[in-house]
Structure 1
Amino acid sequence: MSAAPTCETRLARVALGDREAFVAMYRDSAPRLFAVLLHLLGNRAEAEATLPDLYVEIRARAAHRRPGRGGAEAWLVALAREIALERRHRRPAGPEDALPPSVCAPRLDACLRRLSPERAEALQRAWLWGETPDQLSRRVAMPPGALCARLRDDLTVLAACLHGAPENAQTARATAMAGACLLGLLPVDEAELAEDRIAIDADFARLVDRWRTDLAQMVGGLDPVPPPPEVLAALDLRLFADRDRPLWQRLGLVQAVLGAAAAAGILLLALELGLLNDSPGQPPDSTRPP
C-alpha cells in the first residue's frame, strides 16, 4: 500500500499545475489557514475575502519553492501571514490592536516564557502584526538600534531553548541574524546582506527556514475553522477553468481564423476597388478601362 500524499508532495504537484493535488491540498490545509487569517485579521469578512487570494498565491509560488527548505506546512502558514499583513497594512490608521490571547504551540509558548513578558510580546508583535523596529521601539521607549540588539539576544535565548545551545558564538550570531531577517528586524543594509547570504550560504538559508517553522508555531494552537464552502468552487473556476475548454479554444484559434478571414476580405475589397494597384504619387493608369 502506497503512503498517503504529504503536503510536500502535493505542493510539488501543484507546482506542475495538477488540479487534483490542488483540490486535495486545499481541503487539507484550508481550515488551518483560514483560522490563521481570522486570527491575524480579526475580521471574518476580511478573512473570507483574503482566503482565495492566498490560494492563488500558493499556486503561483509553489513552482519557486525549493523542496526540503523548511516544512511545507510552515511555508503555507508563513505565506498566510504575509498575505494577512499586506491586508493589515492597507487598512486606514486606527486604534492600536491589543495582542490577542496566546495561541502558541506548547513548546514555543514554554520557551517564550523564559523571556520577560515585555520582551516576549515584542517578538510576538513582530511576527503577528509585522511591527517594525520603529513601532516596537516607541512602545518600549528604546532607540530602535538598542531594541534590535535586545531582540537578537532574545532570539538567541529562544533558539537555544528550542534546539539546544549553539555550537559556537559564530553559530549563535548567525542564528539570531536569521531570525531577525525573517522578522524584518534588520537595518536596510544588513537586511540586504542577509538576503544575499540566503542565496549563497546553504547553512544560513536553513537557519532562516528553521525560524520559519519555529515561528509558525505562534499560531500552532489554533483550532481549525472550516472555510466557506463556495471558496473551493470559485478557486477551481478561477484557476482551472481553461482545463475544461477544448485546446483549439484555449489557443484562441477561432479568434485567429476570424481575424484572418476579415483581413483577407478587406484586402480583396481593396484590390477590387483598385486601391492597391497604383503606386503612391503616380497618376492612375489612363489605359485602364472605365
Structure 2
Amino acid sequence: MNEPVHLGRTASTGPDLQELLGLVARGDQEAFARVYDAVCGPVLGLVRAVLRDPAQSEEVTQEVLIEVWRSAARFQPARGSAMTWVLTLAHRRAVDRVRSAQAATDREHRAALLERTPAFDQVTEQVEARLEREQVRRCLRSLTELQRQSVTLAYYRGLAYREVAELLSVPLGTVKTRLRDGLIRLRDCLGVSA
C-alpha cells in the first residue's frame, strides 16, 4: 500500500516484517496492511502449490491472513523469522484443507457404499432357508406315516381337513387327531415354543 516492506531494516525503509507483526499484535491496522502487502504473494503461492485449486487457494490465503491478524501476538522471533512463521501458518492451513476435503470424500464414498449394500445378506438368507427346510424334512420323517400324510396334504398341498379325510378314506375326527398330534411332534422336534 504505502512503501515496500523489507525483511531487513534500514533507516529509510521503516519497520521490518517482525516489527510490523509486533504492531499488528497491538491492533495497528496500518501495520497489518503493510504485512498483508508483504506476505500475500508468498502465502498465495505456497497455498496454491499445496491445493492446486485457484479458488480454494484464494480462500485459504484469506483465512491465513485473518489468522495473522488475530494471532500476531503469538509470533516468537526467537523461533524463526516472521516470514517463516506466516508461511508455516499458510502451509498448515492448506494441509488442513486437503485433509478436510479427503475426509469429506471418504465420508461420501462410505455413504455411497452403504446405499448400495443390500439390507440383508442374500447368501446368509439362502443358507438359513435351506437349513430350515432340511430341519423340517428331518422332523417330518420322525412322524408316523399317517401323521406325515395328513400334515403334508393339509399344509403343503393346501387341502381342507374334509378333503384330507376323503382322500385318505378316514373319518374327519381321525384326520384332526393325526394333524394335532403330528403338529405337536413337529413343534417339539423344531424346538418351537408353544
| TM-score (ref. length: structure 1) | 0.31
> Which structure's CA Rg is the greater one?
2
Higher helix share: 2
- Identify the structure with bigger relative contact order (alpha carbons < 8 Å, sequence gap 6+): 1
